[in-house]
């Protein structure tokens, strides 16, 4: 399950683990114009772990999910 919320300066996507136990903590994706952050609470440290990705890194990640093993560089702009 996931939710999508549009806030003033970001789109917030929350991914809820509905799989079999043990379940993982919710993942929160904050999409701003210049950066995308991915956050997840770590119960071992009682802290939220956060990583930041550029829009280009997110584009590459999305493409990589559907590609076989290898090295790739996505072209931008006109063909």
- CA 24 to chain CA centroid, Å, is 15
Going by pLDDT thresholds of 50, 70 and 90, the confidence category of residue 22 is confident
Going by pLDDT thresholds of 50, 70 and 90, the confidence category of residue 76 is confident
SS3 of 29, please? strand
What is the torsional sign of CA 79, 55, 4, 18? positive
* Predicted local distance difference test score (pLDDT) of residue 74: 86
What is the torsional sign of CA 68, 72, 75, 79? negative
* Predicted local distance difference test score (pLDDT) of residue 77: 66
Q: Distance (Å, rounded) from C-alpha 26 to C-alpha 44? A: 15
Whether 78 shows a pLDDT value over 80: the answer reads: no
SS3 of 55, please? helix
* Predicted local distance difference test score (pLDDT) of residue 42: 97
Tell me the pLDDT tens digit for each residue of 25-64. Answer: 999 999 999 999 999 999 999 999 999 999 999 999 999 9
Q: Distance (Å, rounded) from C-alpha 38 to C-alpha 40? A: 7
């Amino acid at each position: 399950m996931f939710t999508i919320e549009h806030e003033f300066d970001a789109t917030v996507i929350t991914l809820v683990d509905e799989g079999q136990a043990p379940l993982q903590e919710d993942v929160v994706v904050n999409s701003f114009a210049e950066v995308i952050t991915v956050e997840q609470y770590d119960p071992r440290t009682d802290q939220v772990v956060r990583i930041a990705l550029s829009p280009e890194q997110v584009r590459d990640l999305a493409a990589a999910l559907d590609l076989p093993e290898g090295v790739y560089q996505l072209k931008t702009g006109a063909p």
